[in-house]
Amino acid sequence: MHPKDFREQALNFVAQLGLEEKTSLLSGSSFWDLQPIVRLDFPAITVSDGPHGLRTQDAFRAGHLGLTDSAPATCFPTAVTLASSWDEALVREVAEAIGHEAQTLGVSVVLGPGVNIKRSPLCGRNFEYFSEDPFLSGRMAAGFIQGVQSKGIGTSIKHFAANNQEGNRMVIDTQVDERTLREIYLPAFEIAVRESQPWTVMHAYNRLNGVYCGENDWLLGQVLRDEWGFEGLVVSDWGATNDRVAGVRSGMDLEMPASGGLNDTKVAHEVVEGSLDEALVDRLAGRVVELMLAGQAGRVEPQETDFDAHQALAERAAVQGAVLLKNQDQILPLKPSMKVVVVGAFAEKPRFQGAGSSQVNAAQLEAPLDRLRAAVKAQGGEVVYLPGYDVEFARHDPALIADAVEAAKSADAVLVLAGLPLLFESEGFDRSTLDIPSQINALISAVAAVNPRTVVALSNGSPVLMPWLGEVAGVLELYLAGQAGAGALARLVFGEDCPSGKLAETFPLALEDVPAQADFADHPRRVVYREGLNVGYRYFTTYKKPVLFPFGFGLSYTKFSYGKAQLDVARDDLSEPVRVTVAVTNTGDVRGAEIVQFYVRQKGASVFRPDRELKGFAKLCLDPGETGDASISLDRRAFAFWDDEAKRWRVEPTDFEIIVGASSEEIRAVLPFRPAVDASYNSRGAFGIDTPVILSDEQLCALGLRVTAPEDSRPFSRNSTMAEIRGHWLGRRIYAKTEKQMRAMFSGATDPVVEKMGQEFLKGLPLRALQTLSSGALTEKRLDMIIALLNGHWITALRSLF
Ligand code: BGC
């Protein structure tokens, strides 16, 4: 049952509560638990990360984050791998399994999926997000939410909204024009909300156009609730609360984690003072109670998780998400009777998930080397292994390369396991380059120089450069394939399964080619999305810019031919969706799946429109010689752009083309269509057809976005970060104390990546977040005094003592 089904019961419950009890519900009781009402025997519920498996631990309640020692859970492939499967049913199945594990661990809400758009390939958290495309992200998210919620467990779609970088995420002001928000950054949330009603939406840390997301009336009220009809609860990202009272006014229901009651008291005080309507508190408390009732109803008798079954599912998902990027002379699949030299320390210690809050304590974990050895054993083959680099840092080490080269010379084939070591990408910081470590690049080139039958298998959470692409025969992108990635690798490399994944993002040729880089994580307080709609393939295809691998691209061991595509238009005014169908035949020798993509292009538009936009896809799994129909329907919205003057979606009566593609660049059919709709539209010029790629302040202003100057870092305020106060004598002391406290929170972590993440997290932490960290021990008065002292206002500081 959904929380909304408990509305009446919740209202009755709230009616029995006093003001303090009601406000107590508006924040958690610990890091992961909501607030119980002990007087009425009303138990709390527990929430838990995260998107590709659970990170749950009893010790959480003792107050530490448990990044490395949560309860064993299945680590499914990360979002980037899942999205490359383009398989909504598979995502739903994975999510059902996560929901089941949540039931067994007593978790009522899973904190995922993450649907932020991959604006730049450098965002440290891209592995946790699905795609650069909003439609694909939205479909994946809808499937995930339906899967988890079918088990009576809630989800929390995150991070709402425009949280597309890790750098200074807690204070940054993301400035984006409305059309770009509506067409790029919001639709994934919109699709998921409209189609699958997540129990909760997690608001992002950042500000959006000057206002913190958790206090943003437009975002939480107008868009989320009024327009999309969201029926669930809004929860803060952990420690994101800036001004709780403002949050209450905007309908931000639940603050997490606990702030020691500090903010609840503030809210109650405002009610008593008469400046906050108690009815508002009732509404928010009611939504918290609805969520808790739904969570309680979803509880089942503790049952065992069949980890073997989930391992098998994780392997199947990892197979479906792997993308074959190069296969010269059909080097793949390798024969299991071959002598294969396996190079790369990931063979022993796989890179299978990303670091940060999504990190799962994998219930099972196979080493690729073991699975590769097992695959050749019965067939008389041989696997010889050389590490080639150290797994943590991939430091410069010519001797490791020399050993690998020696072994590679006599091999029938070389398989290099390459990619990004854990330390290179994580929640909490962004990457600074697209390069993989130079040791690994040099290793690949060196072995390929002595053995042209070299295949590279990549494990990384987002795009990398491949300077050796022309030197190797094959490349298989596994991304971060989860705990069963080893099995997927072995099955694909030796042809037990046929690769069918396609990229859910563009691999650029160089970082400079990505328009977002004009303004990405380069200012501590502000980021302006000057590239507007020019995100991912929308940009590369519109401006005909070459890329390393395009969005939607992926090879197979078999071949597919496309028949004639057909358009079925019931009513050309789009009052009913149009249907597009294309027959696809597997003309090769093995069973395989093809992902057919449908893009819409508007010709003669009066405004700038990207050359093509994904509006549908279908995946067909076919035996050799078999034909199937890929068929989708396109509604009015599929043809529309956001008219930022009229504030509505608009379709123009011009020529359109529906493009059927095997990727965003491999067009198999083009179908013309002219809708009989609204009259033509005259744009204001900005975002007109001649819009430049990067918009100036003036052009953004014409689009309705007033770019504001970044906030000054002086005088110090509640939002000053640890990095900003560090130069001050008092700031240094606060920094050191907080660092100590954070170490305790990240306890058990000797892991260098947790250490690095902790450091970056600390630097970006605003002073106000110390109140939450101290569970309210840092009172408002003391915080004011600290700020006064930091600013050298001794008298004010003294006054605040009394
Ligand atoms: C992350 C969220 C996560 C939460 C709880 C935050 O720092 O941004 O995605 O769910 O922590 O771990």
Query: b/e map of 264-287 (b: 16 or more CB within 10 Å)?
Result: bbbbbebbeeeebeeeebbebbbb
pLDDT in tens, 263-307: 999 999 999 999 999 999 999 999 999 999 999 999 998 788 999
Q: Among 31, 68, 111, which residue has the most ligand 1 atoms within 8 Å of its CB, making it the best to mutate?
A: 111
| Global pTM value | 0.97
Is 355 a residue whose pLDDT tops 70? yes
Dihedral in degrees, nearest 10, Cα atoms 636, 642, 648, 653? -50
Helices (runs of H) and strands (runs of E) counted in the chain:
23, 24
pLDDT at 59: 47
**Mean pLDDT score, 179-198:** 98
Task: Quote the crossing angle between the two packed helices 307-321 and 485-493, to the nearest 10°.
Answer: 50
- Res 683: pLDDT: 55
**CB proximity list for 485: less than 8 A, separation 6 or greater:** 77, 318, 350, 352, 368, 459, 478
Nearest atom, ligand 1, residue 114 CA = 9
Q: What is the pLDDT, as a whole number, of residue 749?
A: 55
**What is the CA(155)–ligand 1 centre distance, in A?**
13
pLDDT of residue 757: 87
Contact 309, 364 (CB under 8 A): no
Give 759-764 contacts, CB < 8 A, sequence gap 24+.
760/166, 760/426, 760/428, 760/429, 761/428, 762/722, 762/735, 762/738, 763/721, 763/722, 763/723, 764/167, 764/168, 764/169, 764/170, 764/171, 764/428, 764/721, 764/722, 764/723
Q: Which residues contact 191 (CB under 8 A, 6 or more apart)?
A: 134, 135, 138, 139, 141, 142
For the ranges 61-70, 336-345, 739-748, the lowest mean pLDDT is seen at 61-70
Whole-angstrom Cα distance, residue 686 to residue 692? 9
**Domains of the chain by start residue, with CATH:** 3-62+72-297 (3.20.20.300), 312-505 (3.40.50.1700), 551-702 (2.60.40.10), 722-799 (no CATH)
Percent of the chain exceeding pLDDT 70 equals: 97
17 — pLDDT class (breaks 50, 70, 90):
very high
Q: φ, ψ for residue 152 (rounded to 5)?
A: 75, 20
Contacts of 712 (CB under 8 A, 6+ apart): none
Q: What is the pLDDT of residues 43-72, one digit of tens each?
A: 999 999 989 999 997 644 444 455 667 899
**Tens digits of residue pLDDT in 548-559:** 999 999 999 999
Average pLDDT over residues 592-618: 96
pLDDT tens, position by position, 568-583: 999 999 999 999 999 9
Catalytic residues: 237
Q: Which of 34, 49, 155 to mutate to test the pocket of ligand 1 (most atoms within 8 A of CB)?
A: 49
CA 556 to chain centroid: 26
Nearest CA to ligand 1 atom 2: 237
Testing ligand 1's pocket by substitution, the residue of 33, 237, 742 carrying the most ligand atoms inside 8 A of its CB is 237
126-156 pLDDT, tens digit per residue, is: 999 999 999 999 999 999 999 999 999 999 9
Question: Residue holding tokens 């990384």?
Answer: 460
Rounded mean pLDDT of 522-535? 95
Confidence class for position 259, pLDDT limits 50, 70, 90: confident
How confident is the model at residue 60, as a pLDDT? 44
Q: Is the pLDDT of residue 435 over 70?
A: yes
Residue 546: pLDDT band with limits 50, 70, 90: very high
User: 262 to each of 20, 32, 718, 781, how far by Cα in Å?
Assistant: 12, 17, 15, 12
Query: What pLDDT was estimated at residue 704?
Result: 87
pLDDT tens digit string along 443-485? Answer: 999 999 999 999 999 999 999 999 999 999 999 999 999 999 9
| Bridge partners (DSSP) listed for residue 682 | none
Which ligand 1 atom lies nearest to the CA of residue 50? Answer: 10
Burial zone of 333 (CB within 10 Å; 0-12 exposed, 13-18 middle, 19+ buried): buried
Please give the residue that has the higher pLDDT: either 216 or 749.
216
Distance in angstroms (rounded) separating the CA atoms of residues 68 and 353: 13
Cβ(317)–Cβ(77) below 8 Å:
yes
Does 128 contact ligand 1 (Cβ within 6 A)? no
pLDDT in tens, 690-711: 788 999 999 898 888 999 999 9
Index of the ligand 1 atom closest to the CA of residue 65: 12
> What average pLDDT does the structure give for the chain?
94
Provide the percentage of residues in the chain whose pLDDT is more than 90.
88
